[in-house]
Amino acid sequence: MLRIFGVEFSHLGGKYFIHFISFFAAVVILVCLFFFSRKQLRSSLQKGISVLIVVMVLRLFLLYNPFIWRFYKNSLTEKEVGWLNRDVLRIEYYKYFRYFFCLSKYCILGSSQVGYVFPPGLLGDAQVFTMSGLSPLGYLGLKDYFRFDRPEYIVLFISDLDMARFPDQAYLRTSLTGGFDLLKIFPRIFENKAFREKYSTKKLDFFARFIFAQIFPEWKFSFVFKGFLNKLKGYNYELKEVTNIELADVPAEVSLKEQLKNLTENHFEEPIPANLILLEEFVSFCYLNKIKVIILEGQYNPLAYTEKNMQLEKSVRNGITKLLLSYPNLVYIPREKLYQFTESDYLGGYHVNFQAAQRFLISFAGVYSDYCKD
Amino acid sequence: MPFNSFQFVAFFFIVYCFYLLSSHKWQNRLLLAASCFFYGSWDWRFLFLIFTSITIDYFCGLKIHGSDDENVKKRFLILSILVNLSILGFFKYFNFFISNFTGLIDYFGLSIQPRTLNIVLPVGISFYTLKTLSYTFDVYTDKIKPARSYSDYALFVIFFPLLLAGPIMRAGELLPQISSKRKLRLDEIGEGCYFIFWGLFQKIFIADNLAKVVDPVFNSSAPYDCTKIILALYAFAFQIYCDFAGYSNMARGLGKCMGFDIMVNFNFPYFSTNPQEFWARWHISLSAWFRDYLYIPISFSKREWGKWGVIFALMITFIICGVWHGAAWTFVLWGAYQGFLLVIYQLFKTAPIKMPILENAFFKKIWYFSRMFFFFQLISIGWLFFRVKSFSQALQMLRSLAGFLSNLQFDLLSRAMLIDLVFFTIVLVIVEYFQHARKDLTILLKAPFPVKLFVFMALFYLLVIFGEFGTKEFIYSQF
């Protein structure tokens, strides 16, 4: 087995690896052409091409090769870059490999909640893929991976926790296409009057940041370099309340009270239609690629439920139920049919313990054959 | 719409495209309309206020110049001063006076329930008020002729690159540029782009990152040890400098791109070794304004007091300067402290230290850097009064600083703060050292191509990777 800088050569492959080889080749060709034809070029053109070459070489070494992403993945932890970005590091590294998802029948996709509801060791041939705070926009960001590694079923665990927040474009970072193909969906999202009224000021910012991220991947992945600075500073969460360094996600150790407050205060009705459009787009993609989608109605700590949450939950359920009419590949299992988590099952606001996960899976297995006709 | 926002980029791009295609007359009209839009984007009601000030000062200027009667001239000058200071006084100081008046009444055992108003401070009011006042003063003293064109005068006041936080340009410098045709040269546009880039770097990379070191210490109610206060103070010294100088550089750059020559507002102030030099280098347009319109008239009127007249004029000028910065006693204290430093300097500057060892070039340099370092400590203490939220916080911090030898704790957090401070200021120190040594702000543009490529790529990557793009407000726009 050939290993170069810790990377197993035989596992490299896939579309992204081809892009890397092409980019590398392009840089080499450009450099050679420049050196051989330098004297024939005008001074200003020479300078312009020099700048271009420097930028491309820097990008190649700092961002566009599997070796550097292995280094980043192994050097940086969630303490330096946050939970979400730690997952992004992992994805960026595996993009250069042939199989992103294992070729299994089931792929369970979701936020960190899913990692606790479906812990490793309990599932046979299912693969669990989680990303901190993953929401419908994030599913769409990952859809291109499913084109190559096509599971038979994708299982989602969705509640208002996922649907009642503004779609965070940070999740587009994982997309193989950079998220360009998803731009066409956004006019539909902003057609919703309530969403537009609440988030119109974010619109220009959202698109400007998106375009900026495409033109400057250095900015898109700036969290890597900031992570090294954090490492140098010996940053850890005990310092957070004083240094106030912002990170992408809230760790599970944050107090229960804070987490529950977050669940009730930062969820709104307005993003739900937008996230339903994104979810529909994902379900539609799965339909075209002959992948069945099972949506399990999500849950979180019963202590967090307020009148507002129950209303949001209802809106999410109604929205998903409507999708069932248009997509025969979609199955929706409401929470009443599954094990209902109690306060004592929870480690915090959203994550359950292993025993509760076992009880949940048993209930899921019990109703599976009623909903999924294999 | 601050300069470091995507909205401003889009706004300036559109305005600039039309600007390049327009004739001189239409350029001025475009700039006036764009400036109104820019200012109105904060709150359209502010436009009424600024145009009230513009209209009154325009007519006062014409009346002052058109009359031969000294009393008539004085009446219109007083009218202009009263209107402008009343507007500024009401919007900026009304609640401050009411709360202090209430406190004074309470002190004497009486009790009243006055109403404070929910007043929104119009953006840039402190700056454009000084601008318009300088116009009427200069017309009164026959330094300049009044503007004939109302739109030219309006543009002078509301010109958007200078509106929020200066520089406070004089009518004699800016009006001729507005009324005459401007030549756009490629090298000037290149310089303009350089100033915009450097200003953005100062704001987004340096100032906004240092805010994360400063804010937790100054916004916290918990007491901090001496080390953290010192580090936060140093960080604030660079934060406020880069925030303000960054804005001024961007304003200068935007002006240059449109053919305007905007004055330099900061000239390496932290290289100063005494307070007089500092105020000749820091916020030059403001210190010149206070010197010309306050200090000189006061010291002249008190000339028979001798050196006490100078001291009196200095203290009054700087206390008013402190008040101008904000409606709080801490700003007054800051102003008084700056005045005190200048007074001490004035009293002892004629007694320079003479040492033979200073004839040696190496020791001369050491002495120069020692004085610079020492003076930087004095300035940083002044910034403490500027940044704190209350007297009690200032006292608490000063007590901690006073016991610094017994109170120094270098823990993990202090280490993190020090690394942030060094990381985010080292580039500025190096660049400004070379700029100051060559006395050329555009030295980077004149470097050989490989050096230019390396430096600009490094600055660009630092900006893009570590810059805070969260559109934090400029500190001075709050004044």
pLDDT in tens, B90-118: 888 877 777 777 777 777 676 666 665 66
Q: Is residue A93 part of a domain?
A: no
pLDDT at B477: 63
The phi and psi torsions of A179 (rounded to 5 degrees) equal: 90, 5
Residues A210 and A359 in one domain: yes
Q: Which of A256, A263, A266 is nearest to A344 (CA)?
A: A256
Instruction: Report, as an integer, the average pLDDT of B81-94.
Output: 89
Q: Which of A124, A131, A128, A106 is nearest to A291 (CA)?
A: A106
Residues A266 and A216 in one domain: yes
Residue, of B26 and B105, whose pLDDT is higher: B26
Residues A151 and A201 in one domain: yes
Partners of residue A229 in chain B, C-beta under 8 Å: 419, 423, 466
- Interface probe for B, chosen from A38, A41, A169, A243 (most Cβ of B below 10 Å), is A243
Residues A212 and A265 in one domain: yes
- A54 touches B: beta carbon within 8 Å: yes
Q: Is residue A90 part of a domain?
A: no
Structural domain for A11, as ranges: 3-62
Numbered residues of chain B with Cβ closer than 8 Å to any chain A Cβ? 6-7, 9-10, 212-213, 215-216, 220, 412-413, 415-417, 419-420, 423, 449, 453, 457, 461, 464-466, 469
Distance to chain B for A228, nearest Cα, Å: 11
Of B413, B453, B466, the CB nearest to A243: B413
Instruction: Report, as an integer, the average pLDDT of B418-428.
Output: 94
Q: Is residue A173 part of a domain?
A: yes
pLDDT beyond 90 at B410: no
CB pairs under 8 A between A and B: 63
Instruction: Report, as an integer, the average pLDDT of B320-328.
Output: 90
CA distance B280 to A113: 60
- A21 touches B: beta carbon within 8 Å: no
Q: Which of B160, B96, B95, B77 is nearest to B124 (CA)?
A: B160
Q: Is residue A271 part of a domain?
A: yes
CA of residue B382 relative to chain centroid, distance: 15
At A324, which CATH number? Answer: 3.40.50.1110
- Interface probe for A, chosen from B9, B205, B464 (most Cβ of A below 10 Å), is B464
pLDDT beyond 80 at B467: yes
Distance to chain A for B7, nearest Cα, Å: 8
Residues A44 and A137 in one domain: no
Taking CA atoms, B124 is separated from A3, B32, B176, B287, B293, in Å, by 62, 16, 23, 17, 20
Distance to chain B for A8, nearest Cα, Å: 30
Residue of chain B nearest A59, judged by CA positions: B461
pLDDT at B353: 64
Strand A7-8 relative to strand A3-4, pairing: antiparallel
> Which pLDDT band holds residue A137 (cuts at 50, 70, 90)?
confident
Residue of chain A nearest B471, judged by CA positions: A205
**Would you call B465 and A219 a contact, using CB atoms and an 8 Å cutoff?**
yes
Low-confidence winner among A14-23, A68-77, A130-139, B233-242 (lowest mean pLDDT): A14-23
**Would you call B466 and A55 a contact, using CB atoms and an 8 Å cutoff?**
no
Number of domains within chain A: 2
- A4 touches B: beta carbon within 8 Å: no
**Would you call B461 and A219 a contact, using CB atoms and an 8 Å cutoff?**
no
The 3-state DSSP composition of chain B as helix, strand, coil percent (nearest 5) reads: 75, 0, 25
Distance to chain B for A85, nearest Cα, Å: 15
pLDDT beyond 80 at A98: no
Low-confidence winner among A30-34, B15-19, B37-41, B241-245 (lowest mean pLDDT): A30-34
Residues A58 and A161 in one domain: no
Q: Which of A332, A7, A9, A282 is nearest to A145 (CA)?
A: A282
Residues A50 and A179 in one domain: no
Instruction: Write out pLDDT tens, residues B269-282.
Output: 999 999 999 999 99
pLDDT at A107: 86
Instruction: Report, as an integer, the average pLDDT of B63-73.
Output: 90
Of B212, B419, B457, the CB nearest to A244: B212
> Which pLDDT band holds residue B176 (cuts at 50, 70, 90)?
very high
**Would you call B416 and A229 a contact, using CB atoms and an 8 Å cutoff?**
no
Distance to chain B for A208, nearest Cα, Å: 7
Low-confidence winner among B110-119, B123-132, B301-310, B433-442 (lowest mean pLDDT): B110-119
pLDDT at B283: 94
Residue A111 CB-density burial (10 A; 0-12 exposed, 13-18 middle, 19+ buried): buried
**Would you call A243 and B216 a contact, using CB atoms and an 8 Å cutoff?**
yes
Please confirm, yes or no, whether B325 is among the known catalytic residues. yes
Instruction: Report, as an integer, the average pLDDT of A140-150.
Output: 77
Instruction: Write out pLDDT tens, residues B442-459.
Output: 888 888 988 999 999 999
CA distance B285 to B266: 9
- Does ipTM top 0.85? no
Which of A109-113, B153-157, B365-369, B442-446 shows the highest mean pLDDT? B153-157
- A45 touches B: beta carbon within 8 Å: no
Query: Which residues numbered 206-235 in A keep a CB inside 8 Å of some CB on B?
Result: 208-209, 216, 218-219, 222, 225-226, 229, 232-235
Instruction: Report, as an integer, the average pLDDT of A89-117.
Output: 80
**Would you call A234 and B220 a contact, using CB atoms and an 8 Å cutoff?**
no
Q: Is residue A70 part of a domain?
A: no
Residues A23 and A168 in one domain: no
Handedness of CA B100, B101, B102, B103 (dihedral sign): positive
Residues A193 and A261 in one domain: yes
pLDDT at A5: 67
Instruction: Write out pLDDT tens, residues A310-330.
Output: 899 999 999 999 999 999 999
pLDDT beyond 50 at B351: yes
Handedness of CA B356, B362, B364, B369 (dihedral sign): negative
Q: Is residue A85 part of a domain?
A: no
Distance to chain B for A239, nearest Cα, Å: 7
Partners of residue A208 in chain B, C-beta under 8 Å: 6, 9
Strand A292-297 relative to strand A330-333, pairing: parallel
Preceding peptide of B146 cis, ω within 30°: no
pLDDT at A300: 86
- Beta carbons within 10 angstroms of residue A82's beta carbon: 24
Alpha-helical runs (H) found in chain A: 14-37, 43-62, 66-75, 78-81, 83-94, 112-117, 136-148, 160-163, 186-189, 193-215, 217-220, 222-233, 240-243, 256-265, 271-288, 307-326, 354-371
Residues A209 and A119 in one domain: yes
Helix (H) or strand (E) holding B222: none
- Interface probe for A, chosen from B205, B413, B457 (most Cβ of A below 10 Å), is B413
Low-confidence winner among B40-54, B342-356, B391-405, B450-464 (lowest mean pLDDT): B342-356
Residue, of B369 and B109, whose pLDDT is higher: B369
pLDDT at A99: 65
Instruction: Write out pLDDT tens, residues B192-214.
Output: 999 999 999 999 999 999 998 99
Output the average pLDDT for chain B: 89
Distance to chain A for B36, nearest Cα, Å: 21
Instruction: Report, as an integer, the average pLDDT of A140-144.
Output: 82
pLDDT at B347: 86
**Virtual CA dihedral for B373, B376, B381, B386, nearest 10 degrees?**
-160
> Which pLDDT band holds residue A252 (cuts at 50, 70, 90)?
very low
Partners of residue A216 in chain B, C-beta under 8 Å: 464
Among B24, B283, B325, B436, the one annotated catalytic: B325
pLDDT beyond 70 at A227: yes
Q: Is residue A281 part of a domain?
A: yes
Q: Which of B46, B83, B89, B87 is nearest to B327 (CA)?
A: B89
Rg of chain B taking only CA atoms, in angstroms: 24
Residues A26 and A138 in one domain: no
Residues A25 and A106 in one domain: no
**Would you call B466 and A225 a contact, using CB atoms and an 8 Å cutoff?**
yes
Q: Is residue A81 part of a domain?
A: no
pLDDT beyond 50 at A248: no
